[in-house]
Structure 1
Amino acid sequence: MAALAVAGVASAQSSVTLFGVVDASISGYSNSSRDVRNAFLNRGSVKTSSRQLANGGYNSSRLGFRGTEDLGGGLSASFWLEAPISNDDGQQGVATFNRRSTVSLSGPFGEVRLGRDYTPTFWNDTVFDPFGTNGVGTNLISTANTSFGAFGTPAATVGSFANGGKSNYDRASNTIGYFLPPNLGGFYGQLMYGFSEKTKYSPGIATPDILNTQRQGRYVGGRFGYANGPLDVALAYGSSTVGDDYYAGITSKVNTFNLGASYDFGPVKLFGEYSKAKNKLDSDNQRFTFSNVNSNSVDLTGYLLGVTVPVGVGLIRASYSAVKLDLNQPFAFNQRDPKANKLALGYVHNLSKRTALYATVARISNKNGAALTTGGPGFIANNTFTPKTSTGYDFGIRHAF
């Protein structure tokens, strides 16, 4: 009887859709560190490497449910529940919907969306990347920002499953989002506010003397753009509170601005993005001294240039990205700012609208202590060896349904 009742509900809501992606690849990673001391004591280079059956080299593997109900008068209600899956080992299935879990109300006014969703600034990172921030070809802006905006105290893990609470970089939880209606002559945009969901105490002296209990997790952001014909351009800004110390009057924020664009000439499509992120420490009681001048912020600047070229049923993809970390230490005369650049090249061969074979190779060059990788194990880094190059490849198949 229960099964028949569920079947009746499903048939009544005919717009409910089951969808997903299953992506698997043979992937390899190699990360090399070198001894940068003088020639008499130089110990050469060391390397870490691994070969894996991975997933998400072209599109992230996922399983989801979405549906819409027409409420009449131009209004509609909808939901979207999307879970990550690890089809390479089968260890992660529909255990969390931390890719997206939203419910929304839409109408002539636009859309109000509640739940966990992409942040406005990440949209530019993934839309204007020829590799869609997937696999070894993922642009360095995305790779560097993933750890740059990590929370001071990560949220509790969920067993062996992906943790959705370690930062507000790509997605934010507990958010209210607003999207402009689609009939604005090519203009589009969104606003997002995410609650920190921390406990407030009255009087304030009742607050526990523990870090990251009052503001961490809060997110505010927006994205506005214009898409018409071959042109698509958008700018976005977001502010994520990553840590706080109530009694010291200190709040740590990561403020991110980026501008992305693409233009489809037909034979080729060009992509570009400029990104600027600042990890800033705000203090209610800060005084100017030589010890703190310019030392309360770290800047991460990056840019991306990319191209896609259709070739029959296939698509050639290529990108060059670079990032630089400005430590804002004017008196550290012997310290150079870490930086890195990456070149990625790939090809996608579409067997059908839903199934594709793909291959990607990429190489990162690190300088001045930067340690960005294409994936796999980390670098060997100590007083002797400094991270230098990272290479990776993906050869895989993607099926969407």
Structure 2
Amino acid sequence: MAALAVAGVASAQSSVTLFGVVDASISGYSSTSRDMYNGVSYNAFGVPVYDPFYVNQGRVKTSKTGMANSGYNSSRLGFRGTEDLGGGLAASFWLEAPITNDDGATGVSTFARRSTVSLSGGFGEVRLGRDYTPTFWNDTVFDPFGTNGVGTNLISTANGFNTDGGAGGFGGNLNSTRASNSIGYFLPPNLGGFYGQVMYAFHEQTKYSPGLATPDVANNSRAGRYVGGRFGYANGPLDVALAYGSSTVGDDFYAGVTNKVNTLNLGASYDFGPAKLFGELSQAKLKTDIDGNFIVHPGSVPSTKLNGWLLGVTVPVGAGLIRASYSAVKYKTGNNNDDLFFNDQRNNPKANKLALGYVHNLSKRTALYATVARVSNKNGASLSVGNQPFISNSVFTPKNSTGYDFGIRHAF
């Protein structure tokens, strides 16, 4: 009787929940490259030279059709739990694994989506483990497509979200979406609509004393570190947030060089009722820091910027939801006179993307969806839908990429 009583108290003070999403779609992707040479070149004096024998080779294309996952919501399987510690304190955990239900190849073999343990109370929440970075939250919250499927905005794509092969996207930033080994703090939810978080992620590199004992190997001293924060206000139909993050993407101890990607973005949404509008401005800057003991001309280490913007809308229609977004990015190298987001006074690589979609809710947990999207590249940019590769060489230049998702999502 005593044992049963203790067990009853324990179950009342703690809970564990199994949850997940199974999302499958028929998806298709294609990427087109073109021969941009028209037979005219320019000599050292700027005089046009015409080659009458050159025959333009037109366009070439890669394409793929098959079954995919996560076209509307990311497929996942997770466990979360909370224990009431009394006095307003609570301990909790969250383990969330990505799954590839289209082929069953990836199951609960890794909790790479989120793996955290936390302590919360009137002071807010302290969270330890692997989690979303503050700067990624604006990319996904203020995207009508939630950074899922072919509709994912170009800001997220260019910064590294869903990049295959672990390259990390812009600047090789592996912390563009999530950071491991992190300490996070979240403000309490009772601040009249104000919210915020800060995060620090350890690089977990070995430190040597004396410093000259450090092995002469790249990226073994500071790479992997992340620090960032996000603060916003949400009340009624309005939600607006500003985020900043700095990720150390590379270092060379003996050269005194540290490479960082610094990201700043501002996102907002407003629900008018008949329609909800979304917007985001973003800038990521790849910066090289040189130790004070080294004399390097600033012009020898030019910074590279990735500027982006997004406009989107969702319109509820009965049991359905219409979604649309237009996003654009532009790369800038060195010091030029372009305006921050819009003017293009030089031939900087740039791209834009249009995405349209419809979701039909069969119930609160099950939905059918359809999405189409098209990316247009200029001046050497090579962003694509669904990471579909381009044929790119001395003849062909990446131009357009299109894709579609037709699928079903079930959440539990």
Q: TM-score, normalised by structure 2?
A: 0.88
Q: CA deviation at 1:64?
A: 0.2
On the 8 A contact 1:24/1:398 being kept in 2, the answer is: yes
Q: Which residue of 2 aligns with 1:110?
A: 124
| One-letter amino acid matched to 2:372 | V
| One-letter amino acid matched to 2:61 | K
Shift in alpha-carbon separation, 1:85–1:149, aligned structure 2, 3 A: closer
What is the DSSP-based 3-state SS (H/G/I as helix, E as strand, rest coil) of the residue aligned with 1:375?
Answer: helix
Q: How many residues were matched structurally? A: 381
Q: Which residue of 1 aligns with 2:199?
A: 192
Q: CA deviation at 1:296?
A: 2.6
Could you tell me which of 136, 146, 154 is aligned with 1:122? 136
| One-letter amino acid matched to 2:102 | D
Runs of 4+ in 1 over 6 A off after TM superposition: 7-10, 147-151
Matched, 1:306 2:280: no
Q: Which residue of 2 aligns with 1:318?
A: 324
- Separation in 1, partners of 2:405, 2:294: 49
- Separation in 2, partners of 1:149, 1:379: 15
Matched, 1:138 2:152: yes
Q: CA deviation at 1:102?
A: 0.3
Q: CA deviation at 1:283?
A: 1.1
What is the DSSP-based 3-state SS (H/G/I as helix, E as strand, rest coil) of the residue aligned with 1:121?
Answer: helix
Could you tell me which of 201, 213, 217 is aligned with 1:206? 213
Deviation string, structure 1 residues 145-204 (Cα, Å, up to 9, x no partner): 0079999x979xxxxxxxxx9700110000000000000000000000000000000001
Q: Which residue of 2 aligns with 1:36?
A: 36
| One-letter amino acid matched to 2:86 | G
What is the DSSP-based 3-state SS (H/G/I as helix, E as strand, rest coil) of the residue aligned with 2:188?
Answer: coil
How high is the sequence identity, in percent, across the aligned residues?
A: 76
Equivalence map 1:36-115=2 (5 Å): 36-39=36-39, 40-115=54-129
What is the DSSP-based 3-state SS (H/G/I as helix, E as strand, rest coil) of the residue aligned with 1:259?
Answer: strand
- Separation in 2, partners of 1:148, 1:279: 20
- Separation in 2, partners of 1:29, 1:21: 23
On the 8 A contact 1:175/1:195 being kept in 2, the answer is: yes
On the 8 A contact 2:349/2:379 being kept in 1, the answer is: yes
Q: Which residue of 1 aligns with 2:341?
A: none
| One-letter amino acid matched to 1:363 | R
Q: Which residue of 1 aligns with 2:49?
A: none
Q: TM-score, normalised by structure 1?
A: 0.91
Matched, 1:215 2:222: yes
On the 8 A contact 2:133/2:175 being kept in 1, the answer is: yes
- Separation in 2, partners of 1:362, 1:145: 18
Q: CA deviation at 1:95?
A: 0.4
- Separation in 1, partners of 2:162, 2:316: 35
- Separation in 1, partners of 2:164, 2:22: 28
Shift in alpha-carbon separation, 1:67–1:9, aligned structure 2, 3 A: farther
| One-letter amino acid matched to 1:191 | V
On the 8 A contact 2:304/2:334 being kept in 1, the answer is: yes
RMSD over equivalenced CA pairs, Å? 2.5
Matched, 1:250 2:261: no
- Separation in 2, partners of 1:378, 1:30: 8
CA radius of gyration, larger in: 2
Matched, 1:362 2:358: no
